[in-house]
C-alpha cells in the first residue's frame, strides 16, 4: 500500500473540498439524477459521486452500493484524482494495480471501473470523482466515455452553483445580522432616524422617530413638512441654516439642537445629526439621512444647573494650563457682565481684579499649578460695566495620568452682598459700642456736672454776697466769678455727651453758638498740641438742627484738623462761618500736609483712618457724614484751595422762629 | 403776716447763702435739708413760695413739687446739664445761679404778692 505523502497540493485540495461544505450532507436529487444517468448511459449498475477526504472517500451520491464511504487507501478514486483524464479499468482482476484490492477480492467485487475527476469551482483542484462500476467486464464505447466526461462537468457546475448559493445565503445572513444589530442600537439608544431623498420631497421617518414625538408611524406623512410643522418657531431658522451649510459642504456633519412639539403638546429638546451619503454625478447631494435623540432630560438638568448657578450666584470655570484658555459657565459671564460669545483667556480674566487682588490670585493660581495647592479666597473685582464686586473664587488641580497638573477647576461666586452685609454688621456693631460708651459717659458726666455745679453755686453765691456786704472786695470777687464761669463752661461742655435730651429734637439754633460750644473742648486739645485756633464767626447762622449732634460732628472735624498738623508746632486750624446765598457755610481748614486723591475717595468709608492704630477707630468721619447727611446738609473736602479744608453747607433759616 | 418762703436743698451751705441773700426782704425763710421734713411743714403751714433743688435725697424736685398743692408757686434750681422747663414751676434756674437774678426775681414776686393782699 502506498502511503501518500501529504504534499502541499494535497493540503490545498483538502482545503478546497472542505470549503464546499458538502461532506456528510444529505442526499440531493440533483446529484442522484446524475449518477442515475451515468449508470444508465454506461450500462453499469453502480455509480458514485465520491469525494476524497483525508483518509476516506465519501459518497455524495450513491447508486447501487450499500455503504456510504470506504477507506481511502483501497479506493479506485484515489487513483482517478491523480489522473488528468478518465481512468478506465476494464477488468480489475487482470490489472496489476487492483487485482489484490479488497474491493476486488471481496465486496463489492469490482471488475469494471470508469471514473472522471471532479474539480472544485474555486481552485480547480481534484476533490473527487464521478464513477461507474460493474461486477462484470464491460466494454465502454467512446460515446459512453464522453458522456461520462460531460456528466462529470455537470457535477462540477452543480458544485459551483451550490457554492454560490451558499455564499449568497451567508451574505444575506450577515446583512441580516448587521441590520438587526443596527436596529438594536437605535432601539437601545432611543434614536429615531430619518432619511431624506432630496430629489423628491420624501423624508422617511422610522417608527422610533414617530414614537418619540407621539406620532403613529402608519399614518405619518413622509415629507419635510412633518418635521417642519413641529419645530419650535424660535429654533427653526437656525436649524435650516445648519442644514443648508451641510448641504453646501461647509460642514462635515449636520448638527442642530431644536425643540419639537410632542403630540401631547409638550416641547421636547431634540439633538438632530445627519450626513449626506449620496450625491449625483455633479456632486449635488441627493440622499441625506440622520438621527434624532431626545435630550429633554439633559436639557432640563442643564436648565436646573443654570438656575441653581443663578440663585447661588455661583459659576464654574476650567483653566487649561498649557494654553491658558479658560472655560466659563454662563453664570461666570453674568458675574463679569460679559456676553457669552467672548472667548476667554487667563490674562483677560485676571484684568478684572483690582491690582492688589490680581497679584494675589495670580500667585495662588501659579502655586496651584506648580505645587498642586488648592485655594479659596475673596477678591475685589470690577465687572465689565464698572460695578465694584466681591467674588469668592476657589480652585483645585486636576492631574493627568502622568501626575502633572493639566487643568485647574473651580468655582466663582459673587459674594458682594454678603461682604457688604458683614461690613455693615461690623460697622453697626462698632457704632453700637461707641454709642454705649457715649451713653455711660453721658450718665457719668451728668453726675459729675451736678457734683461740680453744687459747690460752684456755693462759691459763686458766697462771692456775690461778699460783694454786696463788702463792696471794697469787688475786684477780687470779680476774679472768683470769672473763674467760676470758666469752670461752668467746661462743665457745660460735657453736655454733648449727655443723652438725657431726646436726640431727634430739632429746632432752629444759631450755628455760631454751637461752634462756640464745640470750641470750648476743641481749644483744650488745640492748646495741648500747640495748635493756634483762628476763629472767624461773622454771622449767627440760623439752621434747623439737633444742636448736640451738629456740635459732635463739628467737634470731630475740629479735632481731626488739630491732629492733622504735624507735631513740631506752628500748627493752625481755621474755623470760618459765613453765608453764601441761601446757605450757612462752615470751613474748617488746617496746616497739615493735605489728603491725596486716592485717599480722598475713601475718607468717608467706615474704618478708614490715617491715624495710628490705637489712635483712631476710623469711624469719626463716617459718623460725621451720617449726621450731616441726616440734616440734609452737605460735607465735602475742598480740593481747589491749598490747605486741607472741609466744607459743610447747611440750608439757612432766615428768621429764628423759636430760638432755644 | 410776713410772706413765707421755703427752700429745700441737700447742700446746707447753699441754704445758708440763700438765707443771707433774703435777709433784707422782710420774709420768713425756712430751709430744709430733708425733703420729708419739708413736706410735713408744707402741709402744716403752706408757704407763699417754694424753692426746690432738683436732685434731693431719694426724690427729685419735680416729684416733690407734684406732691404739693398746685396753688403754691414754685421755683426749681438744678445743677443738671439739661435744664427742663417744667409746667409745675414758674421759673427754673441752673446752678451755679446768679444770686442777683434770684434776689431780684423773689423781691419782685414778694412785692406783687403784697400788692395782691392789700388789694383783696
A198-226 pLDDT, tens digit per residue, is 998 899 999 999 999 999 989 999 999 99
Pairing of strands A191-197, A285-294: antiparallel
- Give the distance from residue A484's alpha carbon to the nearest chain B alpha carbon, in angstroms: 8
Alpha carbon of A549: minimum distance to chain B alpha carbons (Å)? 15
Contact of A394 with chain B, judged by CB distance below 8 Å, is answered with no
Which of B21, B79, B95 has its CB closest to that of A465?
A: B21
Dump strand ranges (E) for B10-87: 28-32, 49-53, 55-56, 59-60, 74-78
Q: Which residues of A touch B85 (CB under 8 A)?
A: none
Residue A59 banded pLDDT, cuts 50, 70, 90: very high
The predicted-structure confidence for A125-147, as pLDDT tens digits, reads as follows 999 999 999 999 999 999 999 99
Chain segment A265-313, per-residue pLDDT in tens: 999 999 999 999 999 998 899 999 999 999 999 998 988 888 888 888 8
- Tally of CA atoms within 13 A in the half-sphere of A110 that contains its CB: 26
Helix (H) or strand (E) holding A87: strand A87-89
- Does A462 sit within 8 Å of B17, measured CB to CB? yes
**Mean pLDDT, to the nearest integer, of B19-28?**
87
Smallest Cα–Cα separation from A587: which of A524, A525, A528, A650? A650
Whether residue A575 lies within 8 A of chain B, CB to CB, comes out as: no
- Hey, what's the torsion of the CAs at B81, B87, B93, B99, to 10 degrees? -170
Q: Are A294 and A209 in contact (CB under 8 A)?
A: no
Burial of A506 (0-12, 13-18, 19+ CB in 10 A): middle
Percent of chain B with pLDDT over 70: 95
- The helix/strand/coil state of A183 is helix
Strand partners, A255: A273
Model pLDDT, residue A610: 63
pLDDT at residue number A659:
44
CB A22 within 8 A of CB A162: yes
Q: How far is CA A200 from the centre of its chain?
A: 42
For the segment A238-261, the average pLDDT, to the nearest whole number, is: 94
For the record, the C-alpha cell of B46 comes out as 403752706
pTM of the complete model beyond 0.90: no
CB of A520 within 8 Å of any CB in chain B? no
What is the percentage of chain A residues whose pLDDT exceeds 90?
43
Q: Closest approach of chain B CAs to the CA of A576, in angstroms? A: 28
* Per-residue pLDDT tens digits for A551-579: 888 888 888 888 888 766 678 899 999 99
Mean pLDDT of chain B: 87
Report the pLDDT averaged over residues A320-331: 90
Three cell numbers written together for A423: 461690613
For chain A, say whether B96 makes contact (Cβ under 8 Å): yes
Chain-centroid distance, C-alpha A322: 19
What is the per-residue pLDDT across A18-53, written as a single tens digit (0 to 9) for each?
988 899 999 899 999 999 999 999 999 999 999 999
Distance of CA A616 to the CA centre of its chain: 48
**How far apart (Å, rounded) are the C-alpha atoms in residues B47 and B44?**
9
Confidence of residue A1 (pLDDT cuts 50, 70, 90): very low
pLDDT for residue A116 is more than 90? yes
Q: Quick check: A458 and B14 CB within 8 A?
A: yes
Considering only CB atoms, B17 lies closest to which of A451, A458, A498, namely: A458
In our burial notation (b when 16+ CB lie closer than 10 A, e otherwise), range A360-392 reads bbeebbeebbeeeeebeeebbbebeeeeebbbb
A202-205/A191-197 β-pairing: antiparallel
pLDDT score at A616: 54
> In the structure grid, which three cell numbers stand for residue A87, read together?
481512468
**pLDDT for residue A658 is more than 60:** no
Angle at A157 between CA A156 and CA A158, to 5 degrees: 90
Site from B81, B83, B85 to mutate, A interface, most A CB atoms within 10 angstroms: B81
Confidence at residue A502, expressed as pLDDT on a 0 to 100 scale? 47
Query: In chain B, positions 30-89, which contact chain A (CB-CB < 8 Å)?
Result: 55, 79-82
* Residue B21 touches partner A, C-beta closer than 8 Å: yes
List C-alpha distances in Å: B63 to A443, A489, B58, B74, B85: 20, 28, 10, 12, 14
Mean pLDDT, residues A413-440 taken together: 81
Q: Would you list the DSSP string of A37-81?
A: HHHHHHT-SEEEEEEE-SSEEEEEEEES-S-SEEESTT-SHHHHT
Q: Which residues of B touch A488 (CB under 8 A)?
A: 96
Residue B85 binned pLDDT confidence (cut-offs 50, 70, 90): low
Note the pLDDT of residue A222: 93
> A77 in contact with B at a CB cutoff of 8 Å?
no
Strand residue runs (E) in B25-110: 28-32, 49-53, 55-56, 59-60, 74-78, 91-94
The phi and psi torsions of B119 (rounded to 5 degrees) equal: -70, -35
- Residue B116 above 90 pLDDT? no
The residue among A642 and A309 whose pLDDT is bigger is A309
Split at pLDDT 50, 70, 90, the class of A78 is: confident
Is the CB of A460 less than 8 angstroms away from the CB of B97? yes
Q: Is the pLDDT of residue A261 over 60?
A: yes
The verdict on a CB contact (< 8 Å) between A449 and B21 is: no
Alpha helix stretches (DSSP H) within A470-574: 474-493, 511-528, 547-564
Q: Quick one: pLDDT at residue A2?
A: 44
pLDDT of A615 > 60? The answer is no
* The pLDDT value given to residue A402: 85
Q: Crossing angle of helices B12-21/A416-469, nearest 10°?
A: 50
C-alpha cell at A438: 457715649
Contact A23, A69 (CB under 8 A): no
A contacts of B86 (beta carbons < 8 Å): none
Q: How far is CA A462 from CA A256, A470, A479, B103, in A?
A: 104, 12, 13, 14
CA distance A454 to chain B (A): 6
pLDDT at position A212, please? 92
Residue A476: which of A485, A486, A466 has the closest Cα?
A466
Q: Is the pLDDT of residue A469 over 90?
A: no
Question: H or E element: which one contains A535?
Answer: strand A531-537
What is the per-residue pLDDT for A6?
63
Residue from the list B13, B21, B81 with its beta carbon closest to the beta carbon of A495: B81
Are A450 and B80 in contact (CB < 8 Å)? yes
Whether the pLDDT of residue B95 is over 70: the answer is: yes
pLDDT tens for A332-360 read 999 999 888 777 888 888 889 998 899 99
Interface test with B, best of A453, A489, A498, A551 (most B CBs within 10 A): A453
Q: Do A457 and B97 touch (CB under 8 A)?
A: yes
Say whether residue A464 is in contact with chain B using an 8 A CB cutoff.
Answer: yes
SS3 A588: strand
What average pLDDT does chain A have? 86
Amino acid at each position: 500500500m502506498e502511503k501518500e505523502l501529504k504534499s502541499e497540493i494535497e493540503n490545498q485540495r483538502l482545503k478546497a473540498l472542505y470549503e464546499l461544505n458538502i461532506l456528510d450532507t444529505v442526499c440531493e436529487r440533483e446529484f442522484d439524477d446524475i449518477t442515475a444517468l451515468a449508470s444508465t448511459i454506461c450500462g453499469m449498475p453502480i455509480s458514485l459521486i465520491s469525494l476524497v477526504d483525508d483518509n476516506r472517500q465519501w459518497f455524495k451520491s450513491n447508486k447501487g452500493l450499500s455503504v456510504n464511504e470506504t477507506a481511502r487507501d483501497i479506493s479506485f478514486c484515489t487513483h482517478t484524482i491523480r489522473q488528468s483524464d478518465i481512468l478506465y479499468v476494464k477488468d480489475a482482476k487482470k490489472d496489476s494495480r487492483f487485482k489484490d484490492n479488497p474491493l476486488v477480492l471481496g465486496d463489492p467485487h469490482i471488475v469494471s471501473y470508469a471514473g472522471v475527476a471532479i474539480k472544485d469551482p474555486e481552485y480547480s483542484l481534484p476533490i473527487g470523482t464521478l464513477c461507474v462500476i460493474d461486477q462484470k467486464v464491460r466494454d465502454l464505447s467512446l460515446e459512453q466515455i464522453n458522456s461520462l466526461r460531460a456528466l462529470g462537468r455537470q457535477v462540477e457546475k452543480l458544485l459551483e452553483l451550490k457554492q454560490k448559493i451558499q455564499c449568497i445565503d451567508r451574505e444575506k445572513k450577515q446583512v441580516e445580522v448587521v441590520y438587526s444589530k443596527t436596529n438594536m442600537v437605535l432601539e437601545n439608544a432611543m434614536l429615531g432616524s430619518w432619511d431624506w431623498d432630496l430629489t423628491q420631497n420624501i423624508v422617511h421617518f422610522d417608527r422610533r422617530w414617530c414614537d418619540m414625538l407621539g406620532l403613529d408611524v402608519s399614518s405619518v406623512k413622509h415629507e419635510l413638512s412633518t418635521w417642519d410643522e413641529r419645530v419650535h418657531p424660535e429654533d427653526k431658522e437656525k436649524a435650516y441654516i445648519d442644514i443648508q451649510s451641510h448641504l453646501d459642504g461647509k460642514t462635515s456633519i449636520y448638527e442642530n439642537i431644536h425643540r419639537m412639539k410632542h403630540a401631547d403638546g409638550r416641547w421636547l429638546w431634540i439633538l438632530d445629526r445627519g450626513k449626506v451619503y449620496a450625491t449625483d454625478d455633479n456632486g449635488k447631494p441627493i440622499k441625506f439621512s440622520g438621527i434624532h435623540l431626545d435630550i429633554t432630560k439633559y436639557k432640563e438638568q442643564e436648565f436646573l444647573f443654570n438656575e441653581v448657578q443663578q440663585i447661588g450666584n455661583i459659576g464654574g470655570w476650567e483653566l487649561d494650563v498649557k494654553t491658558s484658555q479658560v472655560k466659563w459657565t454662563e453664570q461666570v459671564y453674568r458675574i463679569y457682565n460679559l456676553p457669552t460669545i467672548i472667548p476667554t483667556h487667563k490674562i483677560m480674566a485676571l484684568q478684572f481684579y483690582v491690582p492688589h487682588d490680581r497679584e494675589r490670585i495670580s500667585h495662588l493660581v501659579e502655586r496651584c499649578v506648580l505645587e498642586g495647592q488648592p485655594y479659596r479666597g475673596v477678591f475685589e473685582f470690577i465687572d465689565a460695566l464698572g460695578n465694584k464686586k466681591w467674588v469668592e473664587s476657589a480652585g483645585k488641580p486636576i492631574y493627568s495620568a502622568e501626575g502633572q497638573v493639566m487643568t485647574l477647576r473651580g468655582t466663582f461666586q459673587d459674594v458682594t452682598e454678603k461682604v457688604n452685609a458683614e461690613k455693615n454688621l461690623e460697622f453697626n456693631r462698632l457704632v453700637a459700642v461707641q454709642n454705649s460708651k457715649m451713653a455711660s459717659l453721658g450718665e457719668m458726666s451728668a453726675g459729675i456736672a451736678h457734683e461740680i455745679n453744687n459747690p460752684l453755686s456755693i462759691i459763686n453765691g458766697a462771692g456775690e454776697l461778699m460783694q454786696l456786704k463788702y463792696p471794697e472786695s469787688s475786684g477780687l470777687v470779680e476774679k472768683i466769678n470769672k473763674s467760676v464761669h470758666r469752670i461752668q463752661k467746661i462743665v457745660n461742655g460735657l453736655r454733648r455727651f449727655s443723652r438725657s435730651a431726646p436726640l431727634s429734637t430739632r429746632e432752629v439754633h444759631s450755628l455760631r453758638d454751637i461752634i462756640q460750644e464745640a470750641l470750648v473742648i476743641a481749644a483744650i486739645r488745640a492748646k495741648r498740641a500747640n495748635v493756634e485756633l483762628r476763629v472767624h464767626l461773622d454771622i449767627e447762622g440760623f439752621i434747623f438742627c439737633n444742636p448736640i449732634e451738629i456740635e459732635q460732628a463739628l467737634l470731630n472735624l475740629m479735632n481731626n484738623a488739630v491732629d492733622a498738623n504735624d507735631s513740631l508746632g506752628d500748627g493752625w486750624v481755621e474755623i470760618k462761618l459765613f453765608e453764601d446765598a441761601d446757605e450757612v457755610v462752615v470751613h474748617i481748614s488746617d496746616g497739615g500736609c493735605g489728603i491725596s486723591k486716592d485717599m480722598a475717595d475713601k475718607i468717608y468709608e467706615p474704618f478708614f483712618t490715617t491715624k495710628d492704630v490705637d489712635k483712631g477707630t476710623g469711624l469719626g468721619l463716617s459718623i460725621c457724614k451720617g449726621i450731616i447727611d441726616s440734616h440734609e446738609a452737605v460735607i465735602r473736602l475742598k480740593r481747589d484751595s491749598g490747605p486741607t479744608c472741609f466744607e459743610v453747607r447747611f440750608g439757612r433759616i432766615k428768621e429764628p422762629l423759636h430760638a432755644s | 403776716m410776713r410772706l413765707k418762703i421755703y427752700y429745700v436743698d441737700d447742700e446746707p451751705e447753699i441754704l445758708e447763702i440763700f438765707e443771707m441773700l433774703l435777709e433784707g426782704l422782710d420774709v420768713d425763710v425756712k430751709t430744709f435739708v430733708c425733703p420729708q421734713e419739708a413736706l410735713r411743714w408744707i402741709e402744716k403751714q403752706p408757704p407763699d413760695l417754694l424753692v426746690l433743688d432738683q436732685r434731693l435725697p431719694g426724690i427729685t424736685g419735680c416729684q416733690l413739687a407734684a406732691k404739693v398743692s398746685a396753688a403754691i408757686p414754685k421755683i426749681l434750681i438744678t445743677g443738671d446739664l439739661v435744664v427742663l422747663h417744667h409746667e409745675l414751676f414758674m421759673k427754673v434756674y441752673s446752678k451755679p445761679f446768679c444770686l442777683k437774678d434770684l434776689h431780684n426775681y423773689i423781691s419782685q414776686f414778694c412785692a406783687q404778692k403784697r400788692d395782691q393782699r392789700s388789694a383783696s
